[in-house]
Amino acid sequence: MIAARDLRSPRARLLGGAQASVERPVGSTDPIVPFSHAAASMGGRLVIHVEAEDGRRAEAGRSTAALVERVERWAARLTRYSETSDLSVLNADPRLEIPVRPTLAALLRAGRMVTESTEGLADITLLDARLAAEGLAGEDVELTSRAYDWSIAPGRRGSAIVRRSPGLRFDLDGVGKGWIADRALRFLADWPSAVVDADGDLAIRCAPGKTWEVAVDDPRTPETSIAVLRLTAPDGFPGRWGVATSGISIHRWNVDGRVRHHLIDPRTGRPAVTDVVQATVIAGSALRAEALAKAAVIAGSFEGFALLDRARVQGAVILTDRGETLALPQTLALLGN
């Protein structure tokens, strides 16, 4: 069942007839050495990197510091760890039709979109299942997916009306950081090469002909990586990527002596039983990469690779519990030495 393919072929046939080049991009250059601004944010770390010549470093410092403050304001509206956030207010509201402000409305729409693109595996309606997995709530409520028990209608000036079935509550952990990274990158329009790192989920823009080098963390050993990606924009065109990693080996805990993790399978309402320890996806945006990485972990390696293939991602690296580091063939074009 495991059949070696012809390495001499520059293209590998993939499920669904997709074609993937495994040739390296022309014009790879030395990676950018950026100006970086790091801050604690969103329960983790927010780092903003820009390519800035020596004469623009002070300006880069001001731009990135202002962006960190802006991201903090977004995060404060979207977190479920604050009772006063827009999200917590929405979840606590007993009404079935609730107006929401533009930032939350935009993220809810993004959540609906990634549910579609991940074939239902990235689901923002699993808060009760997540709390049950953490031992913070009982299992006497609906734990499986309610992804289609709600809708969102446009309101005034970017706001919206959320209509939902009784008891449905949202958890945006699975999509929030990628969405924030993408949104923050748009505020760095003055910097042709920039990266927003939202606790490991990256929104990347690259000037034509330039290269960003990104390490894929090895969760088994600190300060090591299982692969190095070289993301090079072709001459004449800027590059835009999202790179995100999801997994079950870091964010985990014990409940009643059993190890549980944070990735809930919407089909069961419980932490996913999977052979994927970690999945990294390279896609067109951090939102999409984050959701697809999560979906690949939940689906397991066989179904996960097929899902990523259907989603036509630009690359994917998966670490399995058998110690394999596997990738989609097109990823070879992005690997550094």
Partner 1 sequence: MEDFETRGTQPSPLVRRAPTAPNAHPPKAKPDARPMRAALGAGGLAAFSAVLAAIILPATPPVIVPAVDPQLQAAPDTSGTPISLQRPIQYVQLLPGQTAPPGAVVVDPSGPRPTSVVVTVPAPAAKAQKPIIIKTTQSGKRVP
In the region spanning residues 183 to 202, those forming contacts with partner 1, defined by CB under 8 A, are 195, 197, 199-202
Total residues contacting partner 1 by CB under 8 A comes to 72
Residues in 121-150 that interact with partner 1 by CB under 8 A: none
Nearer to partner 1, 108 or 231 (CB): 231
Q: Kindly give, in sequence order, each residue whose CB lies less than 8 Å from that of residue 38, ignoring residues fewer than 6 positions away.
A: 45, 46, 47, 48
Q: Which positions from 90 to 109 touch partner 1 by CB under 8 A, shown as an x/- string?
A: --------------------
Applying CB under 8 A, does 253 fall inside the site for partner 1? Answer: yes
- The answer to whether 33 and 60 have CB atoms below 8 angstroms apart is no
Helix axes 57-78, 102-117, angle to 10 degrees: 80
Helix (H) / strand (E) element for 67: namely helix 57-78
To partner 1, the closest distance from the beta carbon of 217 in angstroms equals: 4
For residues 240 and 244, what is the distance between their CA atoms, to the nearest angstrom? 14
Q: Report CA 277 to chain centroid distance, whole Å.
A: 16
Nearer to partner 1, 100 or 206 (CB): 206
Applying CB under 8 A, does 332 fall inside the site for partner 1? Answer: yes
Applying CB under 8 A, does 112 fall inside the site for partner 1? Answer: no
To partner 1, the closest distance from the beta carbon of 96 in angstroms equals: 26
Find the part of the chain contacting partner 1 (CB under 8 A) among 67-75, 140-148, 158-166, 243-251.
Answer: 243-251
DSSP 229-242: EEEEPPTTS-EEEE
Nearer to partner 1, 13 or 95 (CB): 13
Q: Kindly give, in sequence order, each residue whose CB lies less than 8 Å from that of residue 178, ignoring residues fewer than 6 positions away.
A: 198, 201, 203, 242, 244, 285, 286, 287, 288, 289, 290, 291
Applying CB under 8 A, does 302 fall inside the site for partner 1? Answer: yes
Applying CB under 8 A, does 62 fall inside the site for partner 1? Answer: no
